[in-house]
Amino acid sequence: MKVLITGGGGFIGSHLAEGHLKRGDQVWSVDTGMNLKVRHLLDHPKFHYVKASVLDEAAMEAFVIRADLVYHHAAVVGVEHYVDDPFNVLNVNILGTLNLLRLAHRHGKRLVFASTSEVYGRNPKVPWKEEDDRVLGATTTDRWCYSTSKAAGEHYAWAFQRMGLEVSVVRYFNIIGPRLDKIDVGRVITIFMGQILRNEPLTIIGDGKQTRCFTYIDDAVRGTMAAGLKKQALGGVFNIGDDRETTILELAETMNKICGRDSKKNLVFVKQEQIYGSRYEDIPRRVPDITKMKKILGVTPKTSLVSALTQTVNWFRKESESRPSLTSAALEKKKR
């Protein structure tokens, strides 16, 4: 099988490439960024890394034509982007998705669209089932632009399905593991890791009682590949995650414990406005119903939070030792 992964140089895309290479598939990873997360695959005879933008329809068509299966993961992701550059979030996520869906439909290719738990917004009824309502804040709150862009992508996916496209949608819930995005940016795990590597207290926004469900990357990849390979997954939308709920405070304490740090001395509580300003809203609870993932995709999360965090922390520590400039650069940026 020939597989195309847009956003293939990213965290999930790099692991997804590994999963398909293990099956013996040919993999084309397309991304606009550096190849650091796939550098260990560059010498693999069946792996191909290409720098190109999903906004370039002509360039993408050359790759879609040769693929049997397309995973569309390319997107602008991260809270810092939602609040700093909502135009780019909307432009890349919506127009890039439309390009890929149009091309997959034109050439008769199966496509898996990577969506997000963000589409549920702040719906207070948890756990969230795939058919549950979206509950969002005002359009003047930039925080919701990412959720809106991904929901628009899903609407386009179902519109193309009605025209004959074979498509599935996966909604990710806080995926963690080795090669997670760079420290100090976007995700709570990477923000905490930057602070740990600099031996700083972990910054807890609010009271830390907001909850998330953290999913190890191996479990997420198994779910994603099942969505792309199983016939019964066609036309379906699937929560990809772990339904074990963890507060942000518990997360911080667990990471401190793994790193041999005393949480009494290494936690600091700050107001949300100090970090993100007034144009951001947090979500108090984010919990998936993973019944469809288990029954239709045949995937059940296997990795405990402690194991997932330990492997993630160990990877970041190893990276910081081999590339100390990463930590020093983040510290210098923090000072400025």
Q: What is the mean pLDDT of residues 4-23?
A: 98
Kindly state the percentage of the chain with pLDDT values over 90: 82
The reply to whether 307 falls in a domain is no
List the end-to-end C-alpha distance of the chain, in Å, as a whole number.
49
CA 78 – CA 89 distance, rounded (Å): 9
Nearest Cα residue to 20 out of 38, 43, 45, 2: 2
pLDDT at position 112 over 90: yes
- The answer to the question of residue 173 being in a domain is yes
Residue at 267 is within a domain: no
In a domain, 262, yes or no: no
Give the residue numbers spanning the domain of 16.
Answer: 2-180+215-243+285-302
Looking at residue 273, its pLDDT comes to: 64
- Please indicate, yes or no, if residue 191 is contained in any of the structural domains: no
- Check whether 186 has a pLDDT greater than 90: no
Flag whether pLDDT at 324 surpasses 70. no
pLDDT, tens digit, 9 for 90 and up, residues 251-272:
999 999 999 999 989 999 988 6
Greater pLDDT, 336 or 101: 101
312 neighbors 220 (Cβ within 8 angstroms): no
Average pLDDT over residues 38-65: 97
Average pLDDT over residues 22-30: 98
Q: Which residues are catalytic?
A: 146
**Among residues of the chain, what percentage have pLDDT more than 70?**
92
Instruction: Evaluate if residue 143 carries a pLDDT over 90.
Output: no
User: What's the structural domain count of the chain?
Assistant: 1
Q: What is residue 329's predicted lDDT score, i.e. its pLDDT?
A: 47
Q: What is the pLDDT of residues 269-302, one digit of tens each?
A: 988 666 655 555 678 899 999 999 999 999 999 9
Is residue 157 a part of any domain in this protein? Answer: yes
327 belongs to a structural domain: no
Higher per-residue pLDDT: 334 or 79: 79
| Average pLDDT for the chain | 92
Question: Distance between CA 93 and CA 193 in Å, rounded?
Answer: 27
In Å, how far are 153, 243, 244, 259, 290 from 130, measured between CA atoms?
15, 14, 17, 36, 9
**Which tokens is 16 given?**
């997804």
Here the CATH number for the domain that contains residue 139 is: 3.40.50.720
Q: Give tens-digit pLDDT for 305-319.
A: 999 999 999 999 999
CA dihedral angle for residue 290, residue 296, residue 297, residue 300, rounded to 10 degrees: 40
| Region 94-107 average pLDDT | 98
- Cβ–Cβ contacts within 10 Å for residue 47, how many? 20
Cα-flanking dihedrals φ and ψ of residue 310, to 5°?
-60, -45
- Does any domain span residue 308? no
